[in-house]
């Protein structure tokens, strides 16, 4: 039962479970001493310097935070990250004891010094904590453990607060600072355990940086300026910095309003102290429960965008409340929301946003944003408060300023969601392209085929060879290089009649390769000759004689088939192609099919469609029909729907439509998605995927596709459930089904993203698989996300087990 | 274009000189010359294109028309000394399958005797 309870909150791989517990303790052991120090600090500051000095403390903290970032950057350049983190914990633990001794001397400016020091402590330790967490866990894991680990921090805060409350007035109170130092010492041990568990995985970036940069000065590479530049130059990190700044400015404004309303409501120091104690404990309990039971589920359900908007939207509502009715209810509600949500949802979502950022950049950004910018933003908040105090503007109107900042925060949150998806995409690479795309990217297929056919024809017949060369000339592809390749004499080649007539003085076509005018003359001359009535009459007689003859005239039939393709489409000889297309010899048929494609006469279309079920010429027919373009579409569509047409022909038709690759072809294929024969499903989906990959802007009938995806998802789930022990065939079936699912999703969502995700889920590393799932989580709509992601996580877990 | 006629072994040899093209203004075209000879009951022709500098599609048409006319009366027409360019045109258009083409006159004349 306990196991099940824990598993609910730490739903990660077994080896990461113990790490999650360490991180829970790590967080706990930071926030607990921090709360003790903070309470001590606040009481001491207010008692000694008064609340009116608070804005000075904020501003001084902002200033010192900048200096700390510079100092931290210098240490980071010299000390490996792991050592720096351990050193920081030891440093704060020891200096806390030293400061306690200073406190005993009752130095006048101690409260201010201690205020700033506590702020620096929490900035540095929290930054380090999340840096380590981000490196140990991937986005998927963080999402799963954030509720549990975050609750460790909140629980620490709660315990720290309760310790102060119940030790107040007892001898224990004097030792609280020493206890907090001890807690930091324990934290050091926990962090050592984390590093030990991750010894091989966690990179030592300081040394890696040195290796990468060679002679480059590491100090300059991670100075305060470089940290700031890293954020400034990255649009994504700039948006993050803006959100953090706005959050902390708003927080100061809320704090001021809350304290003002509480001060006006409760009279007397003991009443105030009692209220604050109860309030802080209540908020922490609420935050703890929220973090433990709601945050994780909320991120899962609302996604990054929904969760990002949740916090500011609540604040908008409550700010309006204070603006129109500045009563204690709204003051408590807004402060409780701000404090509890900033500890739970906001902290969690902010850390998730950091994860996909490249480690080195993330490190710099965190140093700048979390150590400096947070404090700096508080300073800006303090300045805004000063303005309101200076102009004596009623406190309720601070809500107007809050609302301006919150609305900006909402707008930026919407933008950063897009940025997050883009950064996730950058973390995964496309592993392969569609095979035919890779080939067509590097080869002009028609041209290559023509060159090969030319070479092949050389050994068959001089006339065929000449016709092929002329075809090359016609297409302006008869270059000297090609001439050189095709004029190489084959050993088997018989002495040509050209050689017999003119002697073997080089390639017969050599004279024409360089001279453009010669080429043009030749083209014109041949076209004109072929259009001559006398030529047509002569060739008609010859053709009829050859076609009537038996099998030994195969070469002649091939020559005629090729020649007709060179003629004008209106030539009466064109009709002679029909028996040649139908010829039983695949070679003759192939030549006739090619010529039919060149002439593009509509009457050939039904004939070619019929020929699709001849395996020997199927590919040639597909290529030929594709060249007809829109002309062939009505016949193709009619045949695809016709139940009387055989499967092989229909497969061919689908390939033709896929080869055509236009909107009309895609529409026909989509329409057939929901009632196509099962044997054709794979071909149909693959063809749509091919068209989509070539035309990303394609607009498809999404309703049909969505329905098909849902049906396929259901079938896939049944398949997985049915097959517990998978044999090879079942594995292939599941793999095929998953591939089809992704191809279909690629028709509705950005194709490149879906393919990236699929390829990384299928054969990516553990980390890239996690990013791929994260990308899907942020791309797919809820109806698909809820059904697909559990399946994928099962698949990737099974692959890892293997 | 100039056409000289001579006869050997009952075969009319047409020695053609110059350019056979449409723009050439000539009283008698090649086809006309052949038709005139056919009317004189000549049935066997050998076109000697040795001195032909240029021939366009019109010229080829003239040869084809002459060939058809000869065939229609049961005679035959053959070619000799044709240029490389014209041979390529004949190959691409498959006319080389229809016509008998020789590289020298003697062989061409001998071929007539074999018919």
| Domains, in order of start, for chain A | 2-209+217-426 (1.20.1250.20), 701-802 (no CATH)
* CB nearest to A470's CB, from B61, B68, B92: B92
Query: Which structure tokens are listed for A285?
Result: 């309990």
A357: left (phi over 0), alpha (psi -120 to 50) or beta: beta
| Cβ neighbours of A501 in B, within 8 Å | 82, 87, 101, 103
Instruction: Please tell me if residue B19 touches chain A, with a CB cutoff of 8 Å.
Output: no
What is the residue-wise DSSP string for A375-435? HHHHHHHHHHHHHHHHTT--GGGHHHHHHHHHHHHHHHHHHHHHHHHHHHHHTS------H
* CB nearest to A463's CB, from B60, B65, B96: B96
By the 8 A CB rule, do A613 and A652 touch?
yes
Closest Cα in chain A, distance from residue B18 (Å) = 18
Report pLDDT for A552. Answer: 58
Q: Are residues A538 and B97, on separate chains, in Cβ contact within 8 Å? A: no
A426-435, A489-498, A610-619: which is most confident = A610-619
| pLDDT of A232 over the 70 cut | yes
Confidence of residue A217 (pLDDT cuts 50, 70, 90): very low
| Cβ neighbours of B98 in A, within 8 Å | 538-539, 542
Report pLDDT for A548. Answer: 81
Give the mean pLDDT of chain B. 88
| pLDDT of B79 over the 90 cut | yes
| Cβ neighbours of B87 in A, within 8 Å | 498, 501-502
Q: Are residues A498 and B60, on separate chains, in Cβ contact within 8 Å? A: no
| pLDDT of A240 over the 50 cut | yes
Query: Which structure tokens are listed for A522?
Result: 């030749």
Report pLDDT for B42. Answer: 92
| Cβ neighbours of B50 in A, within 8 Å | none
Report pLDDT for A262. Answer: 79
Q: B15 phi and psi, to 5 degrees?
A: -90, 110
CA distance A702 to A694: 18
Report pLDDT for A637. Answer: 92
ipTM surpasses cut 0.85: yes
Higher-confidence position of A605 and A201: A605
Report pLDDT for A426. Answer: 79
| pLDDT of A791 over the 70 cut | yes
| pLDDT of B26 over the 60 cut | no
Instruction: Please tell me if residue B54 touches chain A, with a CB cutoff of 8 Å.
Output: no
Higher-confidence position of A736 and A270: A736
Query: Which structure tokens are listed for A11?
Result: 């739903």
Instruction: Please tell me if residue A539 touches chain B, with a CB cutoff of 8 Å.
Output: yes
Q: Are residues A538 and B64, on separate chains, in Cβ contact within 8 Å? A: yes
Buried b (16+ CB within 10 A) or exposed e, A39-60: bbbbebbeeebeeeebbebbbb
Higher-confidence position of A614 and A73: A614
Report pLDDT for A266. Answer: 74
3-state secondary structure of A639: helix
Report pLDDT for A301. Answer: 79
By the 8 A CB rule, do A148 and A9 touch?
yes
| Cβ-proximal residues to A397 (8 Å cutoff; 6+ apart), any chain | A323, A388
Report pLDDT for A696. Answer: 81
Report pLDDT for A439. Answer: 56
Q: Are residues A566 and B84, on separate chains, in Cβ contact within 8 Å? A: no
Q: How many CA atoms lie within 13 A of A426 on its CB side?
A: 11
Averaged pLDDT for residues A375-393? 86
- Where do we find the tokens 């090609």? A482
Report pLDDT for A187. Answer: 95
| Cβ-proximal residues to A163 (8 Å cutoff; 6+ apart), any chain | A32, A36, A176, A179
By the 8 A CB rule, do A369 and A241 touch?
yes
Question: Among A510-519, A682-691, A701-710, which is the least confidently predicted range?
Answer: A510-519
* CB nearest to B94's CB, from A463, A500, A508: A463
> Inter-axis angle of helices A633-641 and A663-671, to 10 degrees?
10
Averaged pLDDT for residues A112-123? 88
Which among A457, A463, A506, A515 is the top mutation candidate for probing chain B, defined by the most B β-carbons within 10 Å of its own β-carbon? A463
Averaged pLDDT for residues A410-425? 87
What is the residue-wise DSSP string for A317-352? HHHHHHHH---HHHHHHHHHHHHHHIIIIIHHHHHH
| Cβ-proximal residues to A614 (8 Å cutoff; 6+ apart), any chain | A586, A589, A621
CA distance A592 to A306: 62
| Strand ordering across the sheet containing B11-20 | B2-8, B11-20, B44-55, B76-80, B101-102
3-state secondary structure of B14: strand
| pLDDT of A467 over the 60 cut | yes
Question: Among A112-126, A180-194, A360-374, A509-523, which is the least confidently predicted range?
Answer: A509-523
Nearest to A29 by CA among A165, A201, A149: A149
**Total residue count of chain B as it appears in this document:** 115
Report pLDDT for A625. Answer: 93
By the 8 A CB rule, do A514 and A480 touch?
yes
CA distance A266 to A272: 6
Q: A50 phi and psi, to 5 degrees?
A: 85, 155
Higher-confidence position of A51 and A504: A51
Nearest to A559 by CA among A537, A534, A586, A580: A580
Instruction: Please tell me if residue B69 touches chain A, with a CB cutoff of 8 Å.
Output: no
CA distance A52 to A256: 11
3-state secondary structure of B53: strand
Report pLDDT for A493. Answer: 45
Confidence of residue A650 (pLDDT cuts 50, 70, 90): very high
CA distance B52 to B81: 9
By the 8 A CB rule, do A130 and A50 touch?
no
- Please return the burial class of A200, using the count of CB atoms within 10 Å of its CB with bins 0-12, 13-18 and 19+: exposed
For A369, which DSSP code?
I
| Cβ neighbours of B82 in A, within 8 Å | 501
Distance of CA A123 to the CA centre of its chain: 30
- Counts for chain B of helices (H) and strands (E), in that order: 5, 5
Closest Cα in chain B, distance from residue A466 (Å) = 5
Query: Which structure tokens are listed for B113?
Result: 């005797």
Max distance between CA atoms of chain B, in angstroms, equals 38
A34-43, A279-288, A570-579: which is most confident = A570-579
What Cα–Cα distance (Å) separates residue A216 from each residue in A70, A209, A210, A691? 18, 10, 8, 48
Buried b (16+ CB within 10 A) or exposed e, A658-680: bbbbeeebbbbbbebbeebeeeb
Report pLDDT for A208. Answer: 44
Instruction: Please tell me if residue A532 touches chain B, with a CB cutoff of 8 Å.
Output: yes
Q: What is the four-CA torsion angle of A40, A46, A51, A55, rounded to 10 degrees? A: -50
Give the mean pLDDT of chain A. 81
Instruction: Please count the residue pairs, one from chain A and one from chain B, whose beta carbons lie less than 8 angstroms apart.
Output: 80
Question: Among A697-711, A787-801, B18-32, which is the least confidently predicted range?
Answer: A787-801
By the 8 A CB rule, do A149 and A291 touch?
no
For A107, which DSSP code?
-
3-state secondary structure of B25: coil
Instruction: Please tell me if residue B77 touches chain A, with a CB cutoff of 8 Å.
Output: no
Q: Are residues B57 and A529, on separate chains, in Cβ contact within 8 Å? A: yes
Report pLDDT for A549. Answer: 74
Report pLDDT for A213. Answer: 41
Q: B99 phi and psi, to 5 degrees?
A: -90, 150
Please calculate the CA angle A543-A546-A551 and round it to the nearest 5 degrees: 145
Report pLDDT for A724. Answer: 61
Question: Among A47-61, A117-131, A373-387, which is the least confidently predicted range?
Answer: A47-61
| Cβ-proximal residues to A39 (8 Å cutoff; 6+ apart), any chain | A160, A161, A164
| pLDDT of A681 over the 80 cut | yes
Instruction: Please tell me if residue A510 touches chain B, with a CB cutoff of 8 Å.
Output: no
Report pLDDT for A219. Answer: 39
Distance of CA A359 to the CA centre of its chain: 17
Closest Cα in chain B, distance from residue A534 (Å) = 6
Q: Taking the domains of chain B in order of start, what are their residue ranges?
A: 2-114
A720-734 tens-digit pLDDT:
776 666 677 777 888
Nearest to A90 by CA among A192, A22, A11, A158: A192
Q: How many CA atoms lie within 13 A of A147 on its CB side?
A: 22
CA distance A260 to B101: 113
Higher-confidence position of A552 and A218: A552
Per-window interface: A 588-627 vs B, CB < 8 A: none
| Cβ neighbours of B65 in A, within 8 Å | 534
Closest Cα in chain B, distance from residue A496 (Å) = 12
**Total residue count of chain A as it appears in this document:** 802
Instruction: Please tell me if residue B57 touches chain A, with a CB cutoff of 8 Å.
Output: yes
Report pLDDT for A352. Answer: 83
| Cβ neighbours of A509 in B, within 8 Å | 88
Confidence of residue A508 (pLDDT cuts 50, 70, 90): low
Instruction: Please tell me if residue A473 touches chain B, with a CB cutoff of 8 Å.
Output: no
A698: left (phi over 0), alpha (psi -120 to 50) or beta: beta
User: B2-114: what fold?
Assistant: Transcription Regulator spoIIAA (3.30.750)
Averaged pLDDT for residues A103-108? 79
Q: Are residues A502 and B87, on separate chains, in Cβ contact within 8 Å? A: yes
Instruction: Please tell me if residue B60 touches chain A, with a CB cutoff of 8 Å.
Output: yes
By the 8 A CB rule, do B63 and B79 touch?
yes
| pLDDT of B44 over the 90 cut | yes
* CB nearest to A508's CB, from B56, B84, B97: B84
**Beta-ladder partners of B51:** B17
Q: A780 phi and psi, to 5 degrees?
A: -75, 155
Nearest to A205 by CA among A366, A90, A353, A82: A82
Query: Which structure tokens are listed for A12?
Result: 């990660």
- Going A135 to A140 to A143 to A148, the CA torsion angle's sign is negative
Q: Are residues B93 and A535, on separate chains, in Cβ contact within 8 Å? A: yes
| Cβ neighbours of A467 in B, within 8 Å | 91-92
Question: Among A477-481, A653-657, B6-10, which is the least confidently predicted range?
Answer: A477-481
């Amino acid at each position: 039962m306990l196991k099940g309870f824990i598993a609910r909150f730490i739903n990660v791989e077994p080896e990461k479970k113990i790490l999650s517990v360490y991180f829970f303790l790590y967080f706990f052991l930071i926030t607990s001493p921090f709360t003790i120090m903070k309470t001590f600090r606040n009481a001491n500051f207010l008692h000694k310097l008064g609340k009116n000095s608070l804005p000075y403390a904020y501003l001084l903290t902002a200033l010192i935070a900048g200096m700390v970032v510079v100092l931290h950057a210098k240490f980071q350049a010299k000390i490996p990250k792991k050592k720096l983190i351990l050193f920081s914990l030891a440093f704060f633990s020891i200096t806390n004891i030293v400061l306690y001794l200073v406190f005993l001397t009752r130095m006048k400016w101690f409260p201010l010094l201690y205020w700033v020091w506590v702020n620096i402590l929490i900035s540095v330790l929290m930054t380090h904590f999340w840096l380590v967490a981000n490196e140990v866990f991937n986005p998927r894991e963080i999402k799963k453990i954030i509720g549990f680990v975050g609750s460790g921090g909140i629980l620490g805060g709660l315990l720290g607060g309760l310790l102060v409350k119940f030790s107040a007035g007892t001898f224990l109170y004097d030792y609280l600072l020493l206890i907090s130092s001890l807690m930091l010492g324990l934290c050091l041990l926990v962090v050592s355990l984390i590093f030990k568990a991750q010894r091989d995985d966690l990179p030592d970036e300081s040394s890696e940086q040195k290796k990468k940069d060679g002679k480059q000065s590491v100090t300059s590479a991670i100075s305060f300026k470089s940290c700031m530049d890293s954020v400034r130059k990255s649009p994504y990190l700039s948006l993050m910095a803006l959100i953090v700044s706005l959050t902390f400015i708003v927080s100061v404004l809320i704090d001021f309003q809350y304290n003002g309303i509480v001060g006006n409501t409760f009279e007397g120091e003991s009443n105030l102290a009692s209220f604050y104690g109860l309030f802080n404990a209540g908020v922490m309990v609420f935050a703890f429960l929220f973090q433990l039971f709601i945050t994780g589920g909320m991120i899962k359900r609302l996604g990054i965008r929904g969760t990002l908007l949740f916090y500011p939207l609540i604040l908008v509502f409550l700010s309006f409340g204070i603006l129109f009715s500045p009563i204690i209810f709204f003051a408590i509600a807004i402060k409780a929301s701000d404090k509890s949500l900033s500890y739970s949802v906001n902290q969690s979502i902010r850390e998730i946003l950091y994860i996909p950022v490249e480690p080195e950049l993330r490190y710099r950004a965190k140093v700048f944003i979390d150590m400096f910018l947070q404090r700096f933003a508080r300073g800006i908040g303090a300045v805004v408060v000063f303005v309101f105090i200076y102009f004596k503007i009623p406190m309720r109107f601070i809500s107007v300023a809050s609302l301006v900042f919150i609305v900006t925060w909402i707008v930026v949150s919407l933008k950063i969601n897009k940025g997050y998806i883009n950064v996730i995409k950058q973390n995964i690479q496309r592993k392969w392209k569609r095979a035919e795309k890779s080939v067509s990217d590097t080869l002009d297929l028609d041209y290559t085929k023509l060159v090969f056919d030319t070479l092949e024809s050389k050994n068959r017949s001089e006339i065929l060879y000449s016709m092929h060369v002329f075809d090359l000339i016609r297409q302006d592809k008869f270059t000297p290089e090609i001439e050189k390749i095709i004029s190489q004499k084959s050993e088997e080649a018989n002495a040509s009649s050209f050689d017999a007539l003119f002697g073997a003085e080089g390639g017969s076509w050599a004279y024409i390769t360089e001279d453009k005018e010669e080429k043009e003359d030749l083209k014109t001359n041949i076209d004109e000759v072929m259009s001559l009535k006398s030529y047509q009459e002569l060739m008609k007689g010859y053709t009829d004689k050859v076609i009537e003859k038996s099998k030994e005239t195969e070469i002649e039939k091939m020559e005629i088939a090729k020649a007709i393709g060179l003629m004008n489409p209106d030539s009466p000889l064109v009709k002679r192609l029909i028996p040649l297309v139908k010829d039983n010899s695949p070679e003759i048929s192939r030549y006739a099919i090619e010529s039919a494609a060149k002439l593009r006469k509509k009457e050939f279309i039904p004939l070619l469609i019929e020929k699709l079920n001849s395996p020997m010429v199927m590919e040639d027919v597909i290529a030929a029909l594709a060249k007809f373009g829109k002309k062939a579409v009505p016949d193709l569509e009619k045949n695809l729907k016709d139940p009387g047409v055989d499967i092989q022909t229909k497969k061919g038709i689908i390939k033709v439509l896929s080869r055509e690759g236009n909107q009309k072809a895609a529409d026909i294929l989509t329409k057939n998605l929901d009632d196509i024969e099962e044997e054709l499903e794979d071909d149909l989906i693959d063809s749509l995927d091919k068209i989509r990959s070539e035309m990303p802007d394609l607009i498809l009938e999404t309703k049909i596709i969505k329905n098909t995806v849902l049906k396929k998802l259901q079938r896939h789930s049944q398949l997985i459930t049915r097959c517990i022990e998978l044999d090879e065939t079942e594995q292939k079936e599941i793999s095929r089904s998953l591939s089809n699912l992704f191809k279909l999703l690629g028709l509705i969502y950005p194709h490149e993203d879906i393919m990236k995700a699929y390829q990384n889920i299928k054969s990516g590393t553990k980390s890239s698989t996690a990013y791929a799932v994260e990308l899907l989580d942020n791309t797919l709509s809820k109806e698909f996300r809820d059904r697909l992601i559990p399946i994928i996580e099962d698949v990737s877990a099974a692959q890892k087990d293997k | 274009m100039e056409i000289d006629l001579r006869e050997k072994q009952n075969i009319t040899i047409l020695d053609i000189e110059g350019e056979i093209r449409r723009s050439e203004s000539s009283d008698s075209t090649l086809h006309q010359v052949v038709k005139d000879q056919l009317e004189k009951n000549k049935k066997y022709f050998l076109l000697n294109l040795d001195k032909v500098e240029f021939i366009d599609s019109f010229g080829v048409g003239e040869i084809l028309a002459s060939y058809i006319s000869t065939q229609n009366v049961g005679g035959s027409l053959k070619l000799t000394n044709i240029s490389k360019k014209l041979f390529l045109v004949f190959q691409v258009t498959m006319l080389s399958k229809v016509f008998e083409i020789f590289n020298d006159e003697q062989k061409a004349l001998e071929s007539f005797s074999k018919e």
